[in-house]
Amino acid sequence: MTHLPDPRPGLAVPFVLGLLALGAPAQEAAPTPTEHPFLWKIERDPPAWLFGTMHFPDERVLALHPSVTAALEAADAVYTELPLELEVMQRAQTATQLPSGQKLEDVLPEAVWERVQAWLKKRRKSAQMFSTSTPLGLATLLPMVDRLHEMIRRQPLDVVIYSRAKAAGKEVGGIEKVEEQIAVFQAFEIDEQVRMLESTLDELEAAESEGESLLEKIIDLYLAGDAEAFLELMREDAEDDPELTAKFEKLLLTDRNERMAERIDAMLREHPDRSFFFAVGAAHFAGEKGLVTLLEADGHAIERIGAPAPKAAGVEATLAAIHGAAQLYVQRKGRVQTFADLLEKDDSGAAWIDLGAIPRDPWGRLYRIEPREGRLKFAVISAGPDREFDTADDVAYAR
């Protein structure tokens, strides 16, 4: 079970999906907004909008596509998961804090506490920083430890949207009540929270061994506009603890989706002349129990704006580009071992391939280079839709 970090304002939620869902140096130029925002238009007059957010304040996430900005500006009322007022966020924060007098090291098994300390020490952080956090709260924060400065410097997207709407004099509010969100996290016993923390540590250690970042992987999925991939990522290794995975998904997503869909539907029907903009965590839009599906079942016509192309599109072209760069590398420097080799600078100061980072396929997995017989013979492989290598849907390029 993969726990996706969800540092929602005041409420650190490990949305295994839970994107459910802290100064960094300024960049010379603002990031280009994603071409595939999590934006849906509810067909009515005036229209209403559904927007999926990510609660980590990465600059690329905060860069809004013009269609999102236009919808936000046109809306009469803006609703986020909670009304993001200071007192509400402070109240929400209690969900991930231990009762007064308790310390994290006292509720964790010694072996788990030692793993936490070791993980943080490698990042020059003290475990005492998180001594009042619940195990679940810590599971949410660990993937972001290397970028805590961003959480201090910038506001997450939800708060930006809420504050902008409030400053413009729009009606603002929350779809849920803070007590309802707090109850979700209080529903997990300490032993269940410990198991989720251990799962998070497993994922982080596995990602680190492969030169990956779990947080960066989630950001990439968000920027790609791929809601279904959040569910797929959350359900990875679900067989290790199926009952807890099912409970987590039900409480954090399914039950809340049903509640939010019911309230959104009620607001739309009670105020037919009002244009709404609803912003909630992107993971709430995935699957047959996601908000879009539930609202369509209530009779609303909904259209995705800027939807990504079918996942298979472009895979072979990317495989071919990687293969060409790898072949050139082999001719000049010998056998290529990993994609990191292709990102090295050549004598002219340019990378062997202009990707900016180790590439991922459309399903969020790293491509694989697999040697074949012969010095210049190898294949570049995508794991395909099932995200598992050596299965029938793998996509390979070899020449």
Q: What is the pLDDT of residues 289-318, one digit of tens each?
A: 999 999 999 999 999 998 776 666 668 778
Point out which residues pair with 78 in neighbouring strands: 172, 277
Q: Is the residue at 310 inside a domain?
A: no
Give the model's pLDDT for residue 274: 98
Residues 6 or more apart whose CB falls under 8 angstroms from that of 340 comprise: 211, 358
On whether both 282 and 334 belong to a single domain, the answer is no
Give the other-Cβ count within 10 Å of 348's Cβ.
6
Q: In this predicted model, what pLDDT tens digit does every residue of 181-239 receive, in sequence order?
A: 999 999 999 999 999 999 999 989 988 888 888 898 889 889 988 887 777 777 776 66
Q: Is the residue at 274 inside a domain?
A: yes
On whether both 132 and 71 belong to a single domain, the answer is yes
Using alpha carbons only, give the angle 324, 326, 331 rounded to the nearest 5 degrees: 95
On whether both 260 and 372 belong to a single domain, the answer is no
On whether both 231 and 377 belong to a single domain, the answer is no
Give the model's pLDDT for residue 14: 34
Out of 286, 305, 324, a domain closes at 305
Residue of 331, 318, 375 lying closest to 341 (CA atoms)? 331
State the DSSP string of 124-140. T--GGGGTTB-HHHHHH
Cα-based distances in Å from 325 to 118, 348, 359, 378: 38, 15, 13, 12
Out of 256, 283, 305, a domain closes at 305
On whether both 40 and 78 belong to a single domain, the answer is yes
On whether both 82 and 208 belong to a single domain, the answer is yes
Give the model's pLDDT for residue 362: 74
Domain count within the chain = 2
CATH of the domain at 388: 3.30.700.10
Q: Is the residue at 369 inside a domain?
A: yes
Residue of 350, 316, 363, 355 lying closest to 339 (CA atoms)? 355
On whether both 320 and 270 belong to a single domain, the answer is no
Residue of 133, 119, 120, 249 lying closest to 184 (CA atoms)? 249
Do residues 225 and 308 lie in contact, with contact meaning Cβ atoms separated by under 8 Å? Answer: yes
Q: Is the residue at 2 inside a domain?
A: no
Out of 270, 305, 340, a domain closes at 305
On whether both 207 and 325 belong to a single domain, the answer is no
The span from the CA of 282 to the CA of 332, in Å, is: 44
On whether both 375 and 271 belong to a single domain, the answer is no
Give the model's pLDDT for residue 23: 29
On whether both 383 and 248 belong to a single domain, the answer is no
On whether both 97 and 238 belong to a single domain, the answer is yes
Give the model's pLDDT for residue 349: 67
Q: Is the residue at 1 inside a domain?
A: no
Where the chain has pLDDT below 70, the residues are 1-29, 237-239, 309-314, 335-341, 343-346, 349-359, 364, 373-376, 399
Give the other-Cβ count within 10 Å of 15's Cβ.
28
pTM for the model: 0.75
* CA-based R_g, the chain, Å: 22
Amino acid at position 78, single letter: V
- Boundaries of domain holding 356: 315-398
On whether both 126 and 171 belong to a single domain, the answer is yes
Cα-based distances in Å from 391 to 103, 276, 385, 386, 394: 46, 45, 10, 8, 6
Q: Is the residue at 376 inside a domain?
A: yes
